[in-house]
Chain A
């Protein structure tokens, strides 16, 4: 049996825009915050994993070391689309489980600025058409053969769910965003902290039907970090460190198995379902045991289908789940009490670590105004298109 892993320290920067800092500054702030929070030092770390997407070839982990301590430990720079942060966490977890490390630091960081719409290329016509690429295309096909843009791809994922299940439409998707904007007003770390009515959500500029502007996550900057420790070293820590530590009772990363439609429309469902199933089995808990869930609401359409993929609602029942308010902070299973990607923000590499920060903070009882009372088990989910899905289940320490 592999040894248990604990989150000993964790920290995130507020998400937002940092024109006067670079990604190294943000990653360093998160790393130092997590070390301080855990009562440890960079010299205690046996491994460092650093996730960033848009600066994946920058040696970000080593750049952070040069700010906080070049101790010569192995660094793994990882990149896995929107699952980048979860992949950094898993890299450290695997090293500890393999017996190669007792303590490790996982960082996720991204500085996006105002990148605008992700994916979907500009069309630049060649003077002379010549087939190129795997499809022998004579010009970029985005906008001619459907959409490559993220709001559109996830809109289609949501509308496919609407095709297969009753009681799901524009209004149900909009209610998801209404909830997350409302939740964000209690989170000082959120990029946006403004509440909107359902009418305002539905009436904001349409990006890709049914996703309006207020149903799409923003680009932004930020970082988050976790110090992880294996149970052997955990036993020698102080009582205070042990009582604030949060147990990682499941850590899973999956990719999308083959499905017929996958070459045309990324399947974000099967790999999420598979990751959740494996995580619930690892942790020995079920969705009904969860005090809170932070899931990957890059778009409102995505959150709705993940209610089903993560087993939070009855199969096919995601529309009814949001209609009766189940994922609100005072509902059956609070989802994205941080404000979610839609309002807390989505600096891509940071997201999969920040979700774990959020859940851990609630399990410690340290989430302030947004605290979910009595939280003892929580789930953090991310999905990177392409695809990779990370699911972590965390449990309260139980040591006083």
Chain B
């Protein structure tokens, strides 16, 4: 059994990220919505977000809470359909000389933990495309 780390990661027929898109203005949001932060609209459609994009910014995090493995590379990716996503850059050395602003990346998933029932939590990250 697998369960996504967050509910906007869809594993069935995926993996892919799913956003709530405002029916009025098209703004996209992850997670539960009450209304639209851009226009106040209250109706949303679930839409699939592009798997590919470019690296908009990053930081290599060395200092974190004790249980979090470091260093890791935190990134904001702008997907090819114009949605910003925050995650980690994976399959790349955490070295500034190996990371280029604007580099092409692609969504990827991996198992991040297993619970006492043997259920695996699946996380997503971005890897060089």
Contact = CB atoms under 8 A, between A and B. Distances in A.
Contact of B121 (A138, A258, A262): A138
A127 B112 contact: no
Interface string B14-44: 0000000000000111111000011000000
B12 interface: no
Interface in B27-68: 27-32, 37-38, 56-68
How many chain B residues sit at the interface, stated as a range, is: 35 or more
B27 A258 contact: yes
Interface in A17-49: none
B119 A209 contact: no
A207 interface: yes
A131 B7 contact: yes
Interface string A131-159: 10011111101111111010111011101
B78 to A, nearest CB: 8
Interface string B61-94: 1111111111010111010001111111000000
A398 interface: no
A125 B65 contact: no
A126 interface: yes
Contacts of A138: 3-6, 121
How many chain A residues sit at the interface, stated as a range, is: 35 or more
Contacts of A137: 5-7
Contacts of A260: 27-28, 82-84
B101 interface: yes
B59 A152 contact: yes
A134 B8 CA distance: 10
A324 B51 CA distance: 42
A67 interface: no
Contacts of A152: 59, 61, 74
A393 to B, nearest CB: 30
B76 A135 contact: no
Given A139-B113, A208-B62, A160 B67 contact: no
A82 interface: no
B67 A124 contact: yes
A146 B74 contact: yes
A298 to B, nearest CB: 14
Given A152-B59, A258-B38, 17 more contacts: A129-B3, A131-B6, A135-B6, A136-B31, A139-B5, A142-B68, A143-B72, A144-B125, A149-B64, A151-B59, A155-B59, A209-B59, A209-B96, A210-B59, A260-B82, A260-B83, A262-B37
Interface of B: 3-8, 27-32, 37-38, 56-70, 72, 74-76, 78, 82-88, 96, 101-102, 112-113, 115-117, 119, 121, 123-125
What 4 A-B pairs are tightest by C-beta distance, nearest first? Answer: A136-B7, A155-B59, A143-B68, A261-B84
